[in-house]
Structure 1
Amino acid sequence: MYLYTPGEIDRERAHHQAVIQGADDINVKRIGNLGELAFEQFCREYLPVEMWTWKNEKAIRRCNSESFSSYDFEVFDYTVDVKTSRDVSAFQPEKLLDNDPDDDILVMVWHRDNEDALILLGWERTETLKSKVHTQEAYSGEEPEKLAHLATRPMNELHDLGPNTAHLNQKPENPFQPGDRVIKATDEDSSVGVVVEVLPPEENATLYGQELEGEAVRVAFPSTLDEGPGDWRTIHPAKLASYCVDQEIHLYDYKHTNLEYADQPFTVGDYVIKPDYDNPDLAIITAVDSGEISVVFEHLLNKDYIQPQRLEDICENNNLSQYSFPAEDMAFEPQY
């Protein structure tokens, strides 16, 4: 068995994709998405990447509705459906077949009540489940009242279905995730960018008409994001890729090795606080200059959202006080 602990980005994407999908039961769809994410991590750890495909990968990454498919994965040319449940009785052979008799393999994932961890219990061939159900009906009679049969094979036996290949850990080497502030590593005067999307290692991006070798990271620049229809800083980083695609905001592809975390990550329009204050007021950055930032306190502004490039002028025209601080003394205060 394997334990999968979803991060904040995964949880937010799993939920929002369920909302966008228009699922009748958002909770069930979200939990199903988390089960797929768990199995995807297993595949990446233990199976050759060219021998499995996740049907829902792009839809979850961009929080879009998934295109209809009767199964979740293809593994070694087998169709695989992931079944996720808090109630382990759902993994009894007869119940599994009632819900999904058509796919080649079913993977069983159990989740905790608060969805902070999921366990990959095992897998089984559908044909084997049919045989077990038939055997139970023909020869076994009723099962013991307190002991129900669960059909599972160990997860690590799944690779035995494929060719004899060496174990390959194909987890991404890329250290970034959506929302990170980055700069181009080789540029001394590089603008700060925002990581919007991280492509899986096997999906090669195209840059200037040529395939980009290595893991790709998609970045948007705050000045471009600020020209969008609303305040992108109030959008959870997990949803930024969906927002940028919907609003046709230009994204730039980089090899992850060509980026590094920004030492000075702040840009005009960011929400910040001075964390060493006992009860810090929310402030918005109006200017950034050589390690110093100027801010206006958010409660002084009357409008719900003002485009960042107008903030400094509005403060001066309306005699709103601005305050300067060393950037190192301030911290982001996310508004999503």
Structure 2
Amino acid sequence: MYLYTPDGVDRQRAHHQAVKQGADNIPTKRRGNLGELAFEQFCREYLPVEMWEWENEAAIRKCNPESFSAYDFEVFGYEIDVKTSRDVSAFRPSKLLAQDPDDEIVVMVWHRDNEDGLILLGWERVETLESKVATQEVYAGDEPTKLDHLATRPMNELMDLGPNTAHMNQKPQNPFSPGDRVVKSGDPEASVAVVVEVLPPEKDAGVYGQSIDGEAVRVAFPSTLDTGPGDWRDIDPALLSSYCDDQDVKLYTYKHTNLDFATNPFTAGDRVVNANHEDPDEAIVIARADDSNESVAVVYTGQLDDLGISPGKLASHCDEQGLKQYSYTPADLQWAE
């Protein structure tokens, strides 16, 4: 068996993709997405990356409707469907075949009630399920004990279908997550960017026609995000890729080793509080310094009659209105709730 614990990004994307899919039963679709994520992690940890493919990777990453492929994964040339359920009886042969008889292999995933943990119970060939159902139909009366349950194959036996390889950990090595504020390495005047997507290590995301030798990270700049129809700061970081895809926001691709976490992550429009105050009032950043040792200019939200002013116009508006501005170092500030 293989245990998978989804993080906040995976849980949010699994749910939002189900919503955008227009699923009749959103909880069931969300759990199905989590099951696929669980199997993807298993593949990434144990199977050669060039020998498996997840059909719905881009759809779930961007929370777009799936392409309705007949199967979820292709592994070693086999078409694999992932079935996820809290009720183990859903994995009985007749029920599995009734759902989808056209795949070659079925992977069975059990989830906890609150969906914070999923276990890959095992896998089985569809032809074996068909044989088992046919055998069950021959018997009359009480079913023999040996046919009471589905004896699935252990997950590690899936590796036997392919070439003889050692366990391979191909999980992403980059430290970034959606929502992180980053800057280009080695550029003291680099603008702060927001991480939108972290691509799988095997994804060939080229820049200017050249392949990236390493893991790719896609970012957007706040000045571009600020021109969108919604306040991107209120969007869960896990859903930024969906928002940018829907709104056709331009993304920029970097090799992850060419990015650093921003020591001064604040940009115009950010809502902040002074961490040194006991009962801090909310302020809004109107200008940032590139050097983390310099100050960040803010005004308190109570000073503004209109909180909907474009971030790019905040500084000039405050100057025109004669609003008192306050300066703090980035270390003094933290994000407002």
Tell me the CA shift for residue 8 of structure 1. Answer: 0.9
Matches of 1:231 and 1:141, distance apart in 2: 64
Matches of 1:276 and 1:136, distance apart in 2: 71
Change (3 A) 1:300 1:143: farther
Give the one of 294, 298, 305 matched to 1:295: 298
More deviation in 286-295 or 116-125?
Answer: 286-295
* Runs of at least 5 residues in structure 2 that lack an aligned partner in the other structure: none
More deviation in 294-303 or 43-52?
Answer: 294-303
Letter in 1 for 2:169: N
> Which residue of structure 2 aligns with residue 101 of structure 1?
101
| Counterpart secondary structure, 1:206 | coil
Letter in 2 for 1:227: T
Matches of 1:88 and 1:13, distance apart in 2: 25
> Which residue of structure 2 aligns with residue 117 of structure 1?
117
Percent of matched pairs sharing the same residue: 66
1:128-160 Cα deviation digits (max 9, x unpaired): 111122223324843489x94134211111010
Tell me the CA shift for residue 188 of structure 1. Answer: 2.5
Matched, 1:132 2:132: yes
1:114-135 Cα deviation digits (max 9, x unpaired): 1111111111111111112222
Matches of 1:276 and 1:29, distance apart in 2: 45
* 2:301–2:307 Cα contact (<8 Å) kept: no
1:234-257 Cα deviation digits (max 9, x unpaired): 111112122223322221111111
* 1:89–1:150 Cα contact (<8 Å) kept: no
Tell me the CA shift for residue 20 of structure 1. Answer: 0.7
Matches of 2:241 and 2:202, distance apart in 1: 19
More deviation in 252-261 or 274-283?
Answer: 274-283
| Counterpart secondary structure, 1:74 | strand
* 1:215–1:256 Cα contact (<8 Å) kept: yes
TM-score, length-scaled by structure 1? 0.93
* 1:204–1:214 Cα contact (<8 Å) kept: no
| Counterpart secondary structure, 1:119 | strand
Query: 1:263-274 alignment to 2 at 5 Å?
Result: 263-274=263-274
Q: Number of matched residues? A: 333
> Which residue of structure 2 aligns with residue 56 of structure 1?
56
* 2:106–2:125 Cα contact (<8 Å) kept: yes
| Counterpart secondary structure, 1:81 | strand
* 1:105–1:124 Cα contact (<8 Å) kept: yes
Letter in 1 for 2:43: C
* 1:129–1:151 Cα contact (<8 Å) kept: no
Matches of 2:48 and 2:62, distance apart in 1: 24
Matched, 1:32 2:35: no
Letter in 2 for 1:236: D
Tell me the CA shift for residue 106 of structure 1. Answer: 0.7
Change (3 A) 1:307 1:322: same
* 2:205–2:212 Cα contact (<8 Å) kept: yes
RMSD: 2.0
Matches of 1:295 and 1:187, distance apart in 2: 25
Matches of 1:151 and 1:93, distance apart in 2: 10
* 1:91–1:151 Cα contact (<8 Å) kept: no
Matches of 1:299 and 1:109, distance apart in 2: 51
Change (3 A) 1:154 1:294: same
* 1:31–1:115 Cα contact (<8 Å) kept: yes
* 2:19–2:26 Cα contact (<8 Å) kept: yes
TM-score, length-scaled by structure 2? 0.92
Change (3 A) 1:278 1:94: farther
Tell me the CA shift for residue 278 of structure 1. Answer: 4.2
Matched, 1:309 2:318: no
Tell me the CA shift for residue 7 of structure 1. Answer: 0.8
Tell me the CA shift for residue 325 of structure 1. Answer: 2.1
